[in-house]
Amino acid sequence: MAAPLAYFISWTTKGSWLHGDERGFVDRDKRGIQPPDRLRNEQEFLALRDEVVTLKRAQRGVVESTIRAHCGIRNWSLLAVNARTNHVHVVVQAPSVAPEAVMEQFKAWCSRRLNEMAGHSRKWWTPHGSTRWLNDKASLEAAVEYVLNRQ
């Protein structure tokens, strides 16, 4: 298979989209989006050790600037980034690097910078995230448009 043109990477803040959520959810043991499960959602919420993370404007700025800086260090081409209150979207070209590794680096460096800003350490992100390969120009353009203008 040919290398993708770019990756569309997304992840959520801790506690913002739990298993069982009414919007549906992804379960690693099952394929596809799962239907809402109120009991599971309540159990997940009760299991949270910290409060739900909602990024404030300054924190979103730190996330975006950290991602930009990391792309510069790694020589990756950042095509779009948008940090929202409860999730982050990135479209990036990172040749020869798996999208999961790219996402984990972004999450790790953003956590470091957010912890520095907060003056203490905490968990900012949910585990995992979404890593889509963008294999053609149309899907790449649609992802960039979505990240920059459709949220």
**Predicted confidence (pLDDT) per residue in 27-64, tens digit:** 556 566 666 666 665 666 666 666 788 999 999 999 99
pLDDT at 98: 97
The percentage of residues in the chain with a pLDDT greater than 70, rounded to a whole number, is 75
Half-sphere exposure of 74 (CA within 13 A, CB side): 21
* pLDDT value at 16 more than 90: no
Residues 6+ apart with CB under 8 A from 138: none
Tokens matching residue 122:
């905490």
Instruction: Note the pLDDT of residue 51.
Output: 76
The pTM for the full model equals: 0.82
Which tokens is 61 given? 């700025």
Q: Which domains does the chain have, with CATH numbers?
A: 6-16+52-149 (3.30.70.1290), 17-50 (no CATH)
Q: What is the C-alpha to C-alpha distance for residues 58 and 113, in angstroms, rounded to an integer?
A: 12
